[in-house]
Structure 1
Amino acid sequence: MSINLLSIGKSGLLAAQVGLATTGHNITNANVAGYSRQTVLQQNATPNQAGNGFIGTGTEVSQIKRVYDNFVAGQVRAAQAGTSSLDTYYKQISQIDNLMADPTAGLSPALQDFFKGVQDVSANPASVASRQALLSTADSLASRFQGLSARLSEIGNGVNSEITSNISVINSYASQIAKLNESIGNLAVGESNMPNDLLDQRDQLVNELNKYVKATVMPGDNNSLTVSIGNGQPLVVGVRPFQLVAAASLTDPTRVEVAYVTGTRTLVLPENALSGGSLGGLMEFRSGTLDRVQNSLGRVAVTLASTFNAQHKLGQDQNGALGTDFFNVAPPVIQADYRNNPTSTTAVSATVSDPTKLTTSDYGVRYDGTKFTVTRLSDGVKTDISPYPQTVPQTIDGVDFSVAGAAAEGDNFVVKPTVNGAFGFNVLVTDRAKIAAAAPISTSVPTSNTGNGKITPGSVDQNYLTPGNALAGPVTLTYAKGTNSLSGFPPTQAITVTTAGVPTTYPAGTASIPYTSGSEISFGGITLAISGTPGDLDKFSVAPNISGVGDNRNMALLGGLQTKNILDGGKATYQGAYAEAVSFVGNKTRETQINGLASMALLQQTEGQQQSISGVNLDEEAANLLRYQQAYQANGKVMQIAGTLFDVIIAIGR
């Protein structure tokens, strides 16, 4: 009996000792990230059967249990991935927001200054100072476009570096998790005897991993965790980690993508394959904001350069020559997939034919074995190249697509119509005398006319630049009163008369056309109007402009481009299109900031919930210390009494 009592006291003493050690372990690790509170589970030892029943034999520690909730932990991981993604997105987009909205460094001031220079030349077309000032403001505008483009490229390079850095960290965490899987598998005994501290370390690593990429966790064999990312790509399976690598884009060697390594193969993942965490935030920012802003800025540059050039070439400079391109227009960028069949001779070309219809999207061109399909990458709208082989280019969103050569199935190309628009924007006219402020034609009415007929100064359009249409000498139109008609038009050119908005076209060689006062008359790219009541055989002259030094007609038309709705199919001005991009960035920045704050609040809430379950409460642990201390002392007293009883028995036997 005394010996059994001693054993009972000893079991209780040892159990209290384990409780004190566990409580002390909790207290000392209270501030360790990821530590989960541990508790001691006791159960009664197997009793001994006696004649009058079962006599207890004490207690034993059945398990040192980690207080942990898998469901809440999963919520914390998801909240962490979302918060990290939004935080990274916000840090990146804030750079663009500050850049584009800057009242001094943004594009708007440079645009306004440039068109002020255009207006000054329009007001003083012969002024050397005004012309030189226009060239200076044009250079400033080009520098602003190029500076903004360079800054966006720097941000893109920074994204590349951060993607590479994040991949290294993710690979490191994957290796550490795999090693802990191995250690836990070797040390665990069944489901109840687990190395709790190693489990905490592993779960904390998974939490840290979710700061970089959203990870899905599933239980695996031998108490391991299986970790997967993206669309189910395994990152850790048992004791084996898989690796990510930074790889060049399939079509752009300057763009870093995430690739997944499986054996000897390296698979470049789609940009939308990885979500959550800072890596997901970087990928989403680049594809959703940075690319769009670069294309938006480039679209404004390409449209401005193209439309300004088109009007400038319809003018006449101080040397009497037609205007030339004022700005350089950057061509579309065409990139081939490096996986294309080497036997393929496919050649894809693209030319901006109508800048007013340009979008901010890039385009994919792919051959499926029977036809080429152009896909607008911003919304997935597909257009087949038809007919194929082509006889003429096919126009999609203002871009002429041409495909030639012998194609192989799977041939893939990416066309970026405006990505380099801002970078390639520069001034081509350096001589102020070559600013085409004047119109290339002039009209006049001889003083010998007997009637009161008048002729407008006239204007020219793109058809005037067609070979053979430009005036080589004066054209004299003569009014015949008897037939109420005009004659003298160039015999090789058709004539269009527009009366009250209704056009009537007369074929080339028509001897005379009916006269209607105020009607627009167009031929060879020239448009004019004659009004009033001409006298019989009155003449109206249209001739090359030989005294255009003080003429501002073309410069006035160039100035009018500033307020003309040109972009988005005639719905937005240059300034309006840029303002839309600024507004998009501003709204997206604010949206990301608000969502980030909400996500942070959710993370704090879920972490608080997790801490309420798994966290160490020092007050509670202090109470446990007292409880286990009292148990220790009480069991010590049991052992002391058992010893005294044993001594009594020994004394009786003497």
Structure 2
Amino acid sequence: MPVDLYNLGVSGLLTAQQQLSTTSQNIANVDTDGYTRQQVIQGTQNALWEGGNYYGTGVYAQEVRRIYDQFAYNESIYHQSRYSYSETLTGRLQGLDDIMSNVGGNMLDSISEFYDALNSVVDQPTDVGIRQVMLDKAEAMTGIFNSLNASLEAQFESVNTDIETIAGRMDEIGEQVAELNRQIITASGNGNGATPNDLLDRRDQLITELAEYTNVSTVEQASGAVTVIIGNGQTLVADNTAFGVSTIPGAPDVRDIEIVLTQGGNTIPLDGQNLGGQVAALFEYRDEELKLAMNELGLTAIAMSDAFNSQQAQGLDLNESFGNNLFTDINDTTLAQQRARVDTSNTGTSQLQVNITDVNSLTASDYYLQFDGSDYQLTDLDSGTTYNIGAPGAITMPDADGDGVSDIGFEVEDFVVGVPVNGDKWILTPTREFGGDIGVELSDPDQIAASSVFEVYESDTNVSPADVEIISVDPTDPNFATAMNGMDFTFIENPAGSGTIEYDILDPSGTSLIGGATLLGATPAQISYGGVTVEVTGNPIGQASTTVPAGPGTPEVYSVNYAFGPGNNSNAVAMTEFQTTKLVKDGSMTIEGSYQNVVTQIGVHTETAAILHETNTTTFTSATTTLLQAGGVNLDEEASNLLKYQQSYTAAARIVTVAKEITDTLLNSF
């Protein structure tokens, strides 16, 4: 025979045995995560020249190859990052939406109950028991503010913990991929080009897991190693070298922890929101959604506290004393200082505080403050607007209308005038924590200032369509004692028909307290004397003279008199108006409306994220299906292969048997 039948049969047996073994391996790993189906690639052995012809010499197994689609794999890790991002963001937002809606709903109910108790005080201002109920309802309301803020703070800390955990896992994956690169290079060399399939599967599985946390792309090297790139181009693994991933305290706010990459002793900050995957979702949730909720909650609490404290100061309690703060002072020194968060890298000694000056002008923004060597530069982190607010010791807030009040609702003050250094920076959070700081300051129900200090009494002779209302009372004014004796505000058009209104302020004897008539100007207009400020609306022209010849006419008279009395409820009535008066965001929202607005915003953001997640789920499922179709184990197919390779094995064994029979026949013939 020109060819050794034994070799032909044995080669077939060995190849079929390897095919059976590989198929069994596939079946055994059908449920193994990250396993890629393997296949024996067989080839024909070199032919033998004999008698003028080439005769085959059998078969051999060239390699055991992974059934692998690189394009499908790249698509799967791309969509894995997008899916993980939207899944994480949607889950977090749904939790936040539940907190804001459920706990926040209780808060809105509590605010309503507080106003109901306040209305009861209006009805019976002398009833101490009803006053106590009002304080109890105030305690319950502030308790819910505190509880909601604590829940948001816990969410903030939870996100930071998750970021730290993920950073640690990314670091571990980088080290493991680098080690697998080393093993793959070694195994490929030792195997004369054969691929170490199990090592490749383990590496792919690690990179797939990494894609859950961040955007990932890979570049395969000729050696078999891969370079792993994360985020927007930062190298995590190069050959068998991994660069460290860790977290550091934020700057300038240490609570805003950051992710950094360490390369050759250099620390490179990574933009969390642009890393993709779960990391981007966590940074976005923390820095946008959570801070929005905390800032808006704080703004609602500030508006509530400021409105009631200011009105308390305008009235008298049952002891005939000016009202003390009902709620925590929004400009308490400790709280004001905590609103300026110092960067730990600052080398200067300047210490700042943030005082609220106009609640209606406040937004829910945070601000970045930096010293440029001569002046402080203040940047609104929401709008991006930057203001130069002057030098240390001479800070001047933006005041476009020149009314002496900061346009952005707060002032920055050097509470310790130190020496800042060029590059020193701070984060200013005017509203962030007050939801957790608000509390009830009054403990004695007698101290609720339900009574007004003064009342305005319109003369029966007044005929003009005008109104005079007390805006504020300042008992520290040096002429306050004079005002307590009573004052008459008089108005008259002079000369008649000119439209020019003059006013005077008279004591009970008719003597001018301001030295004679003064031009009123356009209404509405504010007039002050003795700590009492009134606002005039309408056109108080007075009554024209009916005498011949014409006399000066009859002025409009509004008497301002001291009005304390246990049954006086005017100041409490003014407090009830806060429920419907738009006191927040340039007069566009009520206090409760401000909170309801952020609940709506969070709800819309949650719905938008859920829609995005549905889209990403579809594309991720499609990419995963394509990858599984390319490299996944199909039990039906493997069962069919088992039968085929079993038949090949049996046939090859038969060749060996035939060869033996032929050999025996030849030997027996001799």
TM-score range relative to shorter protein: 0.7 to 0.9
Number of the residue aligned with 2:628 = 611
Question: For residue 54 of structure 2, what is the amino acid of its counterpart?
Answer: F
Question: For residue 448 of structure 2, what is the amino acid of its counterpart?
Answer: I
Task: Identify the range of structure 1 (531-540 vs 122-131) with the bigger mean alpha-carbon deviation.
Answer: 531-540
Shift of 1:521: 7.4
Matched, 1:526 2:543: no
Q: SS of the counterpart of 1:400? A: strand
Question: For residue 160 of structure 1, what is the amino acid of its counterpart?
Answer: N
Shift of 1:236: 2.2
Distance 1:56 1:325 in 2: 103
CA separation of 1:350 and 1:640: change in aligned 2, threshold 3 A: same
Shift of 1:411: 1.7
Shift of 1:59: 2.1
Number of the residue aligned with 1:498 = none
CA separation of 1:606 and 1:271: change in aligned 2, threshold 3 A: closer
Number of the residue aligned with 1:135 = 135
Question: For residue 338 of structure 1, what is the amino acid of its counterpart?
Answer: T
Distance 2:608 2:145 in 1: 27
Q: SS of the counterpart of 1:223? A: coil
Q: Map Cα deviations across residues 356-413 of structure 1 (whole Å, 9 max, x no partner).
A: 1222221111234565332222343333335788453344522223466544332221
1:217-232 matched pairs, under 5 angstroms:
217-220=218-221, 222-232=223-233
Distance 1:619 1:558 in 2: 78
Q: Which one of the candidate residues 426, 429, 434 is aligned to 2:439?
A: 426
CA separation of 1:220 and 1:467: change in aligned 2, threshold 3 A: farther
Q: SS of the counterpart of 2:317? A: coil
Matched, 1:354 2:364: no
Q: Unaligned regions of 5+ residues in structure 1, if any? A: 496-507
1:558-569 matched pairs, under 5 angstroms:
558-569=575-586
Q: Map Cα deviations across residues 467-506 of structure 1 (whole Å, 9 max, x no partner).
A: 335353324549799999765548xxxx9xxxxxxxxxxx
C-alpha contact (below 8 Å) 1:479/1:534 kept by paired residues: no
C-alpha contact (below 8 Å) 2:462/2:555 kept by paired residues: no
Q: SS of the counterpart of 2:379? A: strand
Matched, 1:594 2:611: yes
Q: SS of the counterpart of 1:252? A: coil
Q: SS of the counterpart of 2:183? A: helix
Q: Map Cα deviations across residues 333-375 of structure 1 (whole Å, 9 max, x no partner).
A: 11121122x2x23444322211112222211112345653322
C-alpha contact (below 8 Å) 1:365/1:414 kept by paired residues: yes
Number of the residue aligned with 1:61 = 61
Number of the residue aligned with 1:172 = 172
Shift of 1:162: 2.2
Distance 2:276 2:307 in 1: 41
Q: Map Cα deviations across residues 218-245 of structure 1 (whole Å, 9 max, x no partner).
A: 2245211222323333322222223222
Shift of 1:435: 1.8
Number of the residue aligned with 2:408 = 397
In the comparison of the two structures, how many residue pairs are matched?
A: 630
Shift of 1:305: 1.3
CA separation of 1:309 and 1:220: change in aligned 2, threshold 3 A: farther
Number of the residue aligned with 2:198 = 197
Distance 1:206 1:339 in 2: 36
Q: Map Cα deviations across residues 119-149 of structure 1 (whole Å, 9 max, x no partner).
A: 2222322332332222121111111111111
CA separation of 1:317 and 1:185: change in aligned 2, threshold 3 A: same
Shift of 1:28: 1.2
Number of the residue aligned with 1:10 = 10
TM-score relative to the length of structure 2? 0.84
Q: Map Cα deviations across residues 400-448 of structure 1 (whole Å, 9 max, x no partner).
A: 23466544332221111111111111122222222222222235589xx
Matched, 1:209 2:210: yes
Number of the residue aligned with 1:582 = 599
C-alpha contact (below 8 Å) 1:178/1:236 kept by paired residues: yes
TM-score relative to the length of structure 1? 0.86
Distance 2:222 2:372 in 1: 43
Q: Which one of the candidate residues 440, 443, 447 is aligned to 2:453?
A: 440
Matched, 1:339 2:345: yes
CA separation of 1:316 and 1:607: change in aligned 2, threshold 3 A: same
Percent of aligned pairs with the same residue?
26
Question: For residue 613 of structure 1, what is the amino acid of its counterpart?
Answer: A
CA separation of 1:414 and 1:515: change in aligned 2, threshold 3 A: closer
C-alpha contact (below 8 Å) 1:443/1:457 kept by paired residues: no
Shift of 1:187: 0.5
Number of the residue aligned with 2:549 = none
CA separation of 1:191 and 1:368: change in aligned 2, threshold 3 A: farther
Shift of 1:619: 1.4
CA separation of 1:537 and 1:238: change in aligned 2, threshold 3 A: closer
Number of the residue aligned with 1:500 = none
CA separation of 1:158 and 1:608: change in aligned 2, threshold 3 A: same
Task: Identify the range of structure 1 (561-570 vs 246-255) with the bigger mean alpha-carbon deviation.
Answer: 246-255
Number of the residue aligned with 1:323 = 323
Distance 2:491 2:469 in 1: 25
Question: For residue 303 of structure 1, what is the amino acid of its counterpart?
Answer: A
Matched, 1:374 2:365: no
Distance 1:234 1:643 in 2: 62
1:23-42 matched pairs, under 5 angstroms:
23-42=23-42
C-alpha contact (below 8 Å) 1:477/1:488 kept by paired residues: yes
Q: Map Cα deviations across residues 549-583 of structure 1 (whole Å, 9 max, x no partner).
A: 22222222211111111212111111111111111
C-alpha contact (below 8 Å) 2:253/2:426 kept by paired residues: no
Number of the residue aligned with 2:548 = none
Q: Unaligned regions of 5+ residues in structure 2, if any? A: 399-405, 497-501, 546-552
C-alpha contact (below 8 Å) 1:316/1:322 kept by paired residues: yes
Q: SS of the counterpart of 1:569? A: coil
Distance 2:266 2:422 in 1: 21
Distance 2:156 2:370 in 1: 26
Q: Map Cα deviations across residues 48-105 of structure 1 (whole Å, 9 max, x no partner).
A: 3345233322222222110111221122222222222333223323332222212786
What is the Cα-based RMSD across aligned positions, in Å?
3.4
CA separation of 1:350 and 1:539: change in aligned 2, threshold 3 A: closer
C-alpha contact (below 8 Å) 1:2/1:646 kept by paired residues: no
CA separation of 1:102 and 1:348: change in aligned 2, threshold 3 A: same
C-alpha contact (below 8 Å) 1:478/1:538 kept by paired residues: no
Number of the residue aligned with 2:149 = 149
C-alpha contact (below 8 Å) 2:3/2:57 kept by paired residues: no
1:57-136 matched pairs, under 5 angstroms:
57-102=57-102, 106-136=106-136
1:404-483 matched pairs, under 5 angstroms:
405-443=418-456, 459-462=469-472, 464=474, 467-468=477-478, 470-472=480-482, 473-477=484-488
C-alpha contact (below 8 Å) 1:188/1:194 kept by paired residues: yes
Question: For residue 23 of structure 1, what is the amino acid of its counterpart?
Answer: T
Question: For residue 474 of structure 1, what is the amino acid of its counterpart?
Answer: N
Question: For residue 176 of structure 2, what is the amino acid of its counterpart?
Answer: Q
Q: SS of the counterpart of 1:33? A: coil
C-alpha contact (below 8 Å) 1:439/1:552 kept by paired residues: yes
C-alpha contact (below 8 Å) 2:456/2:469 kept by paired residues: no
Shift of 1:285: 1.3
Question: For residue 460 of structure 1, what is the amino acid of its counterpart?
Answer: I
CA separation of 1:123 and 1:531: change in aligned 2, threshold 3 A: farther
